[in-house]
Amino acid sequence: MNKFPQLSSDQDKNLPECPEIPPDLGPLDIRVVYNTSLPMIISQNPNIRPGGRSRPQHCMAQQKVAIIIPFRNREAHLKTWLYYMHPFLQRQQADYGVYVVEQMEDTVFNRAKLMNVGYATASKDYDYSCFIFSDVDIIPMDGRNLYRCSTNPRHMANSVDKFNFKLPYNDIFGGVVAFKKEHFIKVNGFSNVFWGWGGEDDELFQRVVAVGLKVDRPDQTIARSRMISHKRDPGNERNGKSFPLIRKAYKRLHQDGLSSLNYTIISITSHKLYTKVTVDIGDGE
Ligand code: UDH
Ligand code: NGS
């Protein structure tokens, strides 16, 4: 198993704090990228350090942000995500690391459990204060959509092209969400028992409400995001048990989540643009 690159969390304490709103941010032209490669992205982003880490050189970022991406067999989407997101996050003067959490087995996909594993793994790596849980196929279309935590858990994908930049329903909490560390602990993370597509994000919304928090959302103009269209993946068929599970969300809150997370890390590899965490999360049986 590759070790994490040892990166000190100490930074020059004499650096000024970065401004609340970074300069020169605005709309971005986002489309699927075909004519790039990881070596090209690496050469276009010379300041990224091993494991997909970066922080501003001339000021101290106000938050330390881990970006967690659940993953299996989506190399092309990951390339597009990395192509846009490293420049995006650097322009936002973020102190961040990217964690791609890959489900090893061919068994039914469990997005939520991968998110929990990403949280647990990134937390051991650096003293992150903010966790952004992002699908690999969602790219923000405006630099002013700050990839940071706010007072409450934040639903960042509230203006997606697929839904004509509107919310399909009020409580939707999918795609990209941001949690301060203490809030993610308070909700006991995601549930681990959602195997297959759908519902785990709705359940997380219920957890937020159950612990007395609210959901923040960015302004819908600024939050415009592109969702790369694709077919449903094999092994991620609709979960027929979602609705009964969500109905019992409050009951399971303290038993099911970070507190009951079990998994086996297969490898942690420090790639140039991200940290790849390959994990055996079981098969739900
Ligand atoms: N993911 C993978 N591999 C998989 C399944 C899911 O990496 O095999 C990850 C990936 O980060 C993805 C996220 O989990 O962005 C969410 O899964 P999804 O993209 O399948 O979910 P979404 O709701 O699409 O975006 C569902 C399929 C809709 C098919 C509609 C056909 N027009
Ligand atoms: C709901 C799902 C959510 C999902 C949302 C949007 O129906 O998990 O659709 O999906 N809830 C259940 O299945 C219970 S989307 O159209 O973006 O693929 O996030």
Angle formed by the axes of helices 111-125 and 200-210, nearest 10° = 60
Q: Which ligand is nearest to the CA of 67?
A: 1
Q: In angstroms, what is the span from residue 176 Cα to ligand 1's centroid?
A: 13
* pLDDT digit string, tens, across residues 211-269: 999 999 999 999 999 999 999 999 999 999 999 999 999 999 999 999 999 999 999 99
* Across 11-25, 44-58, 121-135, 187-201, least confident range: 11-25
Task: Establish whether residue 198 lines the binding site of ligand 2, counting it when its CB lies within 6 angstroms of any ligand atom.
Answer: yes
Task: Establish whether residue 195 lines the binding site of ligand 1, counting it when its CB lies within 6 angstroms of any ligand atom.
Answer: no
Q: In angstroms, what is the span from residue 70 Cα to ligand 1's centroid?
A: 9
Q: At 116, which amino acid appears?
A: N
Task: Establish whether residue 135 lines the binding site of ligand 1, counting it when its CB lies within 6 angstroms of any ligand atom.
Answer: yes
* pLDDT digit string, tens, across residues 72-114: 999 999 999 999 999 999 999 999 999 999 999 889 999 999 9
Q: In angstroms, what is the span from residue 178 Cα to ligand 2's centroid?
A: 18
Is 35 a residue whose pLDDT tops 90?
A: no
Q: Which ligand is nearest to the CA of 198?
A: 2
Task: Establish whether residue 154 lines the binding site of ligand 1, counting it when its CB lies within 6 angstroms of any ligand atom.
Answer: no
Q: What's the pLDDT at 5?
A: 44
Q: In angstroms, what is the span from residue 73 Cα to ligand 2's centroid?
A: 21
Q: What's the pLDDT at 53?
A: 98
Is 3 a residue whose pLDDT tops 90?
A: no
The DSSP annotation for the chain comes to: -PPPP---S---TTSPBPPSS-SS--B-------S--HHHHHHH-TTPBTTTEE--SSSB-S-EEEEEEEESS-HHHHHHHHHHHHHHHHHTT-EEEEEEEEE-SSS---HHHHHHHHHHHHHHHS--SEEEEE-TTEEESBTTS--S--SS-EE--SSBGGGTTS-SSTT---SEEEEEHHHHHHTTSS-S---SBSSHHHHHHHHHHHTT---B---TTTT-EEE---PPPTT--B-TTHHHHHHTHHHHTTTSSGGG---EEEEEEE-SS-EEEEEE-----
Residue showing tokens 């997370």: 261
Q: Phi and psi at residue 100, in whole multiples of 5°? A: -100, 115
Q: What's the pLDDT at 34?
A: 83
Q: Which ligand is nearest to the CA of 163?
A: 2
Q: How far, in Å, CA of 93 to CA of 58, rounded? A: 9
Q: What's the pLDDT at 285?
A: 72
Q: Which atom of ligand 1 is nearest to the CA of 69?
A: 11
Task: Establish whether residue 118 lines the binding site of ligand 2, counting it when its CB lies within 6 angstroms of any ligand atom.
Answer: no
Residue showing tokens 């609340």: 20
Task: Establish whether residue 142 lines the binding site of ligand 1, counting it when its CB lies within 6 angstroms of any ligand atom.
Answer: no
